[in-house]
Amino acid sequence: MSGVSKEANMHKHDETTGLAGHQHSLDPAVRKKELLREGEFFRAGVAHAKASIQHGIKPEVMMRTAFDHTTIALRTKADALLKPTGANVAMLMPYAMNALNFVRQRRLGKPVAGAAVAVGVLGWYFNRKRARKAAKEA
């Protein structure tokens, strides 16, 4: 390398190069207008960032954001579980809504919830049993 340091090569600034790396005019009047316009853009960006932060710290916005993140995480997990079957949440949602509507209209909420818990417990039991059997064989 020629005796110039790496930092000096990265930041080649002369009088006409702005901080953002673009060239300013050599004419002082034009340059003043360019700098004033840059200042306006900077102030507008700061005002926008401030408004965004003030909006984001409201409790209802924070709650909605947390709900959205939770929904996305659950949907991603459900899609990952359904991937081997070739199905996804969007494909199964119309059937799930029809089933939910049927349960709601017939007032079968408690029996269906009990059956879902029972199926979940059976699934957990068989999964545990299979895991123990695999551990014994290994």
Range of the domain at 124: 107-138
What is the model's pLDDT at position 1?
Answer: 46
Whether 12 has a pLDDT exceeding 80, the answer reads no
What is the model's pLDDT at position 91?
Answer: 94
In a domain, 126, yes or no: yes
Over residues 102-129, the mean pLDDT reads 94
In a domain, 125, yes or no: yes
Backbone angles phi, psi at 21, to 5 degrees: 95, 0
In a domain, 115, yes or no: yes
The residue to which tokens 């990265």 are assigned: 10
Structurally, the chain folds into a number of domains equal to 1
In a domain, 83, yes or no: no
In a domain, 117, yes or no: yes
In a domain, 135, yes or no: yes
Report pLDDT digits (tens) over 41-75.
999 999 999 999 999 999 999 999 999 999 999 99
In a domain, 77, yes or no: no
pTM value is 0.48
In a domain, 112, yes or no: yes
What is the model's pLDDT at position 34?
Answer: 87
